[in-house]
A and B are shown apart, each in its own frame.
Chain A
């Protein structure tokens, strides 16, 4: 696994140490039915000023991966292991307090799933955006508000909206406010967990444009979690496909979108509707495997149209042309 991540690193711009390097990250949950292997040995590298899109269907562990990176763990954690390196420093051994102070919102901030609901209903939007500054930097309210106003301008929230309460804002405005909240402490990396789900297409486009602007002007990195392939293509420099707790494919956006390699990726891309095209939407028969007791060998084998005998064994992460990685026996 180690050499694989180095292979991935070599694909990106060479630097002494990448912004974020994740190695063999595991996050298992304990449930009454057994242990859920939500994130099962994931490795990747994310450089500065890059956006990595994680694609996958619901329940494949995308959100758990984001939480594992930010160490936002629920109570029923069974296993939490691996390396999370920030600027070359492994932060896994850090204490919860140090992690809270030096990582969350200082280096990495999160736009959580259902972000529209992640605004405190009893705080004014401005207070809410300023809150991470007050919490983290101990800034006084006036300065924090000034910064909140700047952040709101960047994402396109009119300044007078800051005096309102969350329920007085539209979904898109709330989403922007949450992104402003993630931006306000000026972190290097922003994890966006489905930032445009539950929004209409125009609002989606607006928000994606705002994110692109932020990436261009402020040189932020994004870790974009989505199941919306079309949206992801707007922002992503790299794409990673996640299936049943594992990464099954990794590559640059230019190479991935026209030509997905893994059978699952191909099926995923085929399920995207296109305008004015007489085509039956493809879908994948069967269900994703249970993460409590995942099948031996390739986890996609049961649903894969191209499976063959070797699929009973765990496939390796194969490097193919152009530095792309794919976890499939077909490319060995």
Chain B
């Protein structure tokens, strides 16, 4: 025990270990933050909820902070609604959206104005208008007009409203034709004769005609931008932050639990084998030799494909497969030596039980070897978990880094230039590995010379 405490004290002399500890501390903090600000149920709901939850965020949006480093400011998402206007809060508000939504209701008509300032250097990705009509029998009727900052007015057609309607302006092919073949999200924003959007105040007017006393219309215009939040969004409009945050506790817990499980079990089994010898030892050694040649990943793929992809099942299988590995051989070799040492003999003489000898006398001698190995085992398990996620064998429920990579790969993120989508989970994974490796290597350097002394 004193060797361990002394070893930990020595850590201070290794800057790399301190950096590693810092990274691990940051990851643990991230994991705690994730669990606190985004409780499990909420995270699952957001990640699995589908488009309805993420209606107001854009697809394939880059992180908003990228705007800080580029001259060309990419648009953020603008939401103007008669039911309270809002803009998703963004850390780098490059333009103040002066949003205004007004609704004037007279006897038989409703006049809605949805106006916003557009001050970006790029076109939005999509424009969608949600219309919510309340009526008893007779459907309300609306005429839609788009007004650009330079005063042009473009008609977006007229329509009858049946309940909640979603008008996807950017997919209106007739409008596209009228705009001279330009997609509406460009055609409606472009300044005439140029390739860039016209800055200024845009307005969408909804002129509704009502045929009933209690009828009403509400409207919400969403102009989807190209940047979103701290980490961007994916193909399902989901904020990647959910997965990046929740990936940390999942990865760390996975790595830690499996590493603890395998290390301790390996230690105890090796000690039992070395202590009892004979057929017990022979059996353990033969199992180890068979297990060492079994390929882990293909077995996991088979189980994931045919049985279950639950993270618990994977954890148990990985633990079982990693117990009987080279570690048993190494520990056994050391235990065989320790077993013959006089103090074990003495313990046997004063009648210590087998269990006591194994747990209290033999096992602690391995801990200086075990600790660095344990620390370097964690990142490999984190990578294994990410690999499973990347191969589509991640837990079907949990948002993890590996699954973000899987989505990115399936949607051709690198081909299409969505680097943020691949880089952010990769960087987190690499930082995890780096942190644990720096610490593990330092511990190795500290504990291994000690072994000679002990």
Q: Which residues of A does B touch, CB under 8 Å?
A: 70, 72, 75, 100-101, 104-105, 109-110, 112-115, 117-123, 131-132, 135-136, 165, 167, 178, 181, 185
* Bound Cα distance from A242 to B372, whole angstroms: 51
30 pairs from A and B in contact (CB 8 Å cutoff): A100-B351, A105-B350, A105-B351, A110-B346, A112-B346, A112-B349, A113-B342, A115-B342, A117-B341, A117-B342, A117-B343, A118-B342, A118-B343, A118-B345, A118-B346, A119-B346, A120-B343, A120-B347, A120-B360, A120-B361, A121-B343, A121-B454, A122-B1, A122-B2, A122-B361, A136-B350, A136-B351, A165-B2, A178-B346, A181-B346
Residues of A within 8 A of B351 (CB): 100-101, 104-105, 132, 135-136
Say whether, besides A100-B351, A135-B350, A114 and B3 are in contact (CB < 8 Å): no
Q: Which residues of B does A touch, CB under 8 Å?
A: 1-3, 277, 341-343, 345-353, 356, 360-361, 364-365, 453-454
CB pair A110–B349 under 8 Å, yes or no, is yes
The 8 A-B pairs of least Cβ separation, nearest first, read A118-B346, A118-B342, A132-B350, A117-B342, A122-B364, A100-B351, A104-B351, A105-B350
Residues of A within 8 A of B2 (CB): 122, 165
* Bound Cα distance from A72 to B347, whole angstroms: 11
CB A22 to nearest CB in B, in angstroms, measures 18
* Bound Cα distance from A181 to B2, whole angstroms: 22
Say whether, besides A105-B351, A132-B350, A136-B350, A121 and B342 are in contact (CB < 8 Å): no
* Bound Cα distance from A121 to B344, whole angstroms: 11
CB pair B343–A72 under 8 Å, yes or no, is no
Residues of B within 8 A of A121 (CB): 343, 365, 454
User: Which chain A residue has the least Cβ–Cβ distance from B363?
Assistant: A122
CB pair B350–A109 under 8 Å, yes or no, is yes
CB A264 to nearest CB in B, in angstroms, measures 29
CB B5 to nearest CB in A, in angstroms, measures 11
CB A89 to nearest CB in B, in angstroms, measures 18
Residue among B345, B348, B350 with most chain A CB within 10 A: B350
Q: Which of B1, B348, B352, B356 contacts A72 (CB 8 A)?
A: B348
Residues of A within 8 A of B348 (CB): 72
User: Which chain B residue has the least Cβ–Cβ distance from A66?
Assistant: B349
Residues of A within 8 A of B360 (CB): 120, 123
Residues of B within 8 A of A70 (CB): 349
Residues of B within 8 A of A132 (CB): 350-351
Q: Which of A105, A110, A135, A178 contacts B356 (CB 8 A)?
A: A135
* Bound Cα distance from A45 to B389, whole angstroms: 75
CB B188 to nearest CB in A, in angstroms, measures 76
CB B97 to nearest CB in A, in angstroms, measures 66
User: Which chain B residue has the least Cβ–Cβ distance from A106?
Assistant: B351
Residue among A109, A117, A131 with most chain B CB within 10 A: A131
CB B337 to nearest CB in A, in angstroms, measures 13
CB pair B341–A135 under 8 Å, yes or no, is no
Residues of A within 8 A of B353 (CB): 135
* Bound Cα distance from A207 to B131, whole angstroms: 99
CB B130 to nearest CB in A, in angstroms, measures 69
